[in-house]
Amino acid sequence: MNPLHEELTAYIDGELPAERVKEMEAALASDPTLRALEQRLRRSIVAVEALPPPVTEASPKLRRAVLDAVSAPTWKEKWLTWPRLVPLGLAVAASVTLVVWPRAGDDEGGGLDEEKLLLAQNLEVVEDLDLMGLDSAADLDVVAELHELEVTP
The pLDDT of residue 89 is: 80
d(CA 25, CA 3): 14
Q: Are 8 and 41 in contact (CB under 8 A)?
A: yes
Give the integer Cα–Cα distance in Å for 61 and 84.
34
In tens, the pLDDT along 27-37 reads 999 999 999 99
What confidence category does residue 82 fall into, taking pLDDT thresholds of 50, 70 and 90? confident
DSSP one-letter string for 59-95: -HHHHHHHHHHHHSPPHHHHHSSHHHHHHHHHHHHHH
Q: What is the mean pLDDT of the chain?
A: 78
Model-wide pTM > 0.85: no
Q: What are 18-70's pLDDT values in tens digits?
A: 899 999 999 999 999 999 999 999 999 999 999 988 877 878 888 888 888 88
